[in-house]
Amino acid sequence: MKLTLEKPVYGGDCLARADGGGKAIFVSLGLPGETVLAHVIEEKKSFAKAELDEILSSSPNRVEAWCWHFGSCGGCHLQHADYVTQLRMKEQVLREMLARAGVAIPAEIGVLAGEPWGYRNRIRLAVTGDGRIGYRGRRSHEVVPVVECPIAAPGLLKVAEAAREFLGSEIAPAAIVEIEIFGNADESRMLVTLFSADAPANEAEVWLERLRAVWPESVRGVRMVLSDGGLNPKTLASVGEGSISYETAGFGYQVEFGAFFQVNRWLVDGLVGLVTKGRSGGLAWDLFAGVGLFARRLAGTFERVVAAEVAPASLAALERNLAGVGGARAVESTTLDFLRRNREERQPRPDFVVLDPPRAGLGQETTTLLSAIHAPEMVYVSCDPATLARDLRALTTERYRVESVTLVDMFPQTFHIETVVGLARS
């Protein structure tokens, strides 16, 4: 069918209307204003999904994708748009989602962006039974073998290529289904995790030592874990170091195997500054604290900092990063349990709260407890505009107003949107 693409939607597609005003159709790999031929691949009662076949009228903002895997690989969604257009599309999506939820925001949305290529400090690749390594395909679970990935730090791909060659020549002691590679900003130190579908034989550590030997000296540690999808997967074998130091925002953060850390190596400093700059007082809370990225900086401007984290790997790193820092304390707790306990024990109210939840956001009970605490200022760091809009609606109904909104483009070439929202007590 012939369609005119109207606007971007969250997920990387563009919205069109059947017959100019009928059912909503979401078209992949298009740009607003383009006229295209497309065919429907999924039909629902209220909408349909379509694949682009031909561009009849091209947008002036369309560019040739840098990566030749683009379109088949599911990792990127926006390489066909110039970078200014990508930012404009993301701002439009963010503004519309907040408005639809009834959240009042300032007229201007700030933007923090950096180099849109080579930014990823962590990649996770699928491994097939015959030793091929790649990303999952767009609209499928098929593995697309990759020979390049221009959004990843180059050193990560070198390690992945060495792993591919090794797995093709060495019999693994267990079925390897995925490989994750994490490195610090300058790629001088890396950790590699192999996800196994079953428990290995006794020679796993010896095999890992041989594997480590084919990699650059920058690979400091390698482990094999059972692929169970949990927060603390069972380690089957490990060689080398269990953590690396990541220098950013003025500190050297210890990051353990499996610990959460921001993925964009170019923007970590800017993100920390955006969240913490100008904040000071008696007590600050860092909730969903991870390895203490924000807590460590806040400890320099607040008398006391309490950082709550429950994921075992992140908690171990958090405790190490706050060790010996006066007034800073790591607490093993989910954010919800921490807030419940605070309500029961009637502990002192914080002057400032940082919220950096996973994609699921805060949820109703957490927003209710936060509103009851009534801290003067909060900053919400979100990686999902849908759950952000839901949570801001709850927080701004009675207690808070949105003071600032900044789009932080942590994931160039993709549809993902990171947002930093400043909230002040009404």
Q: Which of 227, 225, 337, 356 is nearest to 286 (CA)?
A: 356
Q: Are 326 and 351 in contact (CB under 8 A)?
A: no
Which residue's structure tokens are 């009534």? 374
Instruction: Give the separation between CA 417 and CA 394, rounded to whole angstroms.
Output: 20
How many angstroms separate the Cα of 402 from the Cα of each of 372, 397, 420?
Answer: 17, 11, 11
The answer to whether 182 touches 253, Cβ cutoff 8 Å, is no
Please state, in angstroms and rounded to a whole number, the distance separating the CA atoms of residues 353 and 305: 10
The DSSP output letter for 413 is T
- Residue 221 makes CB contacts below 8 A (sequence gap 6+) with 191, 192, 238, 239, 240, 241, 242, 243, 244, 257
Give, for 14, the enclosing helix (H) or strand (E): strand 14-17
Instruction: Collect contacts of 179-182 with beta carbons under 8 A, ≥24 apart.
Output: 179/124, 179/125, 179/127, 179/133, 180/122, 180/123, 180/124, 180/125, 181/122, 181/123, 181/124, 181/125, 181/156, 182/121, 182/122, 182/244, 182/255, 182/261
Please identify which of the residues 14, 76, 149, 383 carries the catalytic annotation: 383
Question: How far apart are the C-alpha atoms of 63 and 305, rounded to whole Å?
Answer: 47
Distance CA 307, CA 302 (A): 13
How far is it, in rounded angstroms, from Cα 229 to Cα 357? 18
Distance between CA atoms of 137 and 375, rounded to whole angstroms? Answer: 45
Map residue 420 onto helix, strand or coil: strand
CA distance 210 to 420: 44
C-alpha span between 124 and 200 (Å, rounded): 21
Residue pair 335/357 in contact by the 8 Å Cβ criterion: yes
Residue 383 catalytic?
A: yes
Residues taking part in catalysis? 383
